[in-house]
Chains A and B, each alone.
Chain A
Amino acid sequence: MIELRGLEKTFPSQNGDAPTIALAGVDLKIETDEFLCILGPSGCGKTTILKLIAGLIAPDAGTITIDGVAVNAPGPDRAVVFQNFALLPWANVVTNIAFGLELRGMAKTAREAIALDLIRAVGLQGFEHHYPRQLSGGMQQRVGLARALAVNPKILLMDEPFAAVDAQTRRMLQEDLLQLAHTTRKTIIFVTHDMDEAVRLGDRVVLMSPRPGQIREAIAVAIPRPRPVDLDQNPRAIELKTYLWQQLRAMQN
Chain B
Amino acid sequence: MSRILPSTARDPQLVRWGLRALSILFFLIGWEILAYQLDSLLFPSFTETLIALSQLISTPTFWQALWVSHQALLIGFACALLVGTTLGLIMGRWRAAEKVFDPYLNILLATPMSALIPIIILAIGLGLPARALVVFLFAVVVIVVNTRAGLRTLEPSWVEMARAFGANEKQLWWTILIPGALPAMMTGFYLGLGRALTGMIAVELLLIAVGIGRLILDYQGAFEAGFVYATIMFVVAEAVILLNALKYLERKLTPWAGQATIG
A interface residues with partner B (beta carbon < 8 Å): 54-56, 74-76, 78-80, 82, 84, 86, 88-90, 99-100, 102-104, 131, 133, 151
Contact = CB atoms under 8 A, between A and B. Distances in A.
Given A74-B165, A100-B165, 20 more contacts: A54-B164, A55-B164, A56-B160, A74-B164, A80-B161, A80-B164, A82-B157, A84-B157, A86-B155, A86-B157, A88-B158, A88-B175, A89-B256, A89-B257, A99-B165, A99-B175, A100-B166, A102-B175, A103-B165, A133-B256
B171 interface: yes
Contacts of B179: 88, 90
A86 B160 contact: yes
Interface string B124-135: 000000000000
B167 interface: yes
Contacts of A151: 165
15 contacts: A56-B160, A74-B164, A74-B166, A82-B157, A82-B161, A86-B161, A88-B176, A88-B179, A89-B257, A90-B182, A99-B162, A103-B166, A103-B171, A131-B256, A133-B256
B65 to A, nearest CB: 42
Closest 5 CB pairs between A and B?
A89-B256, A86-B161, A86-B157, A100-B165, A80-B164
Of the candidates B161, B166, B175, the one having the most CB atoms from chain A within 10 angstroms of its own CB is B161
B180 to A, nearest CB: 8
Contacts of B164: 54-56, 74, 78-80
Interface residues of B, number: 19
B157 A75 contact: no
Of the candidates B157, B179, B254, the one having the most CB atoms from chain A within 10 angstroms of its own CB is B157
A82 B165 CA distance: 12
A20 B163 CA distance: 24
Contacts of A133: 256
A79 B162 CA distance: 11
A90 B254 contact: yes
Contacts of A75: 166
Given A103-B171, A131-B256, A86 B158 contact: yes
A133 B157 CA distance: 16
Contacts, number: 51
Of the candidates B160, B164, B166, B179, the one having the most CB atoms from chain A within 10 angstroms of its own CB is B164
Contacts of B166: 74-76, 100, 103-104
B154 to A, nearest CB: 11
A166 to B, nearest CB: 21
Contacts of B160: 56, 82, 86
A103 B163 CA distance: 10
Given A90-B179, A90-B256, A79 B157 contact: no
Nearest to B160: A56
Contacts of B163: 56, 74
Nearest to B254: A90
Interface string B228-263: 000000000000000000000000001011000000
B161 A103 contact: no
A99 B176 CA distance: 11
Contacts of A86: 155, 157-158, 160-161
Contacts of B256: 89-90, 131, 133
Contact of A103 (B155, B167, B182, B254): B167
A55 B175 CA distance: 20
A104 B168 CA distance: 10
A100 B155 CA distance: 18
Of the candidates A74, A78, A79, the one having the most CB atoms from chain B within 10 angstroms of its own CB is A74
A59 B15 CA distance: 60
Interface string B181-219: 010000000000000000000000000000000000000
B187 to A, nearest CB: 16
Nearest to A84: B157
A55 B162 CA distance: 12
A74 B161 CA distance: 10
A65 B251 CA distance: 48
A55 B179 CA distance: 25
Nearest to B182: A90
A137 to B, nearest CB: 15
A131 B162 CA distance: 18
Of the candidates B160, B163, B165, B175, the one having the most CB atoms from chain A within 10 angstroms of its own CB is B165
B186 to A, nearest CB: 13
Contacts of A55: 164
B156 to A, nearest CB: 9
A88 B177 CA distance: 11
A100 to B, nearest CB: 4
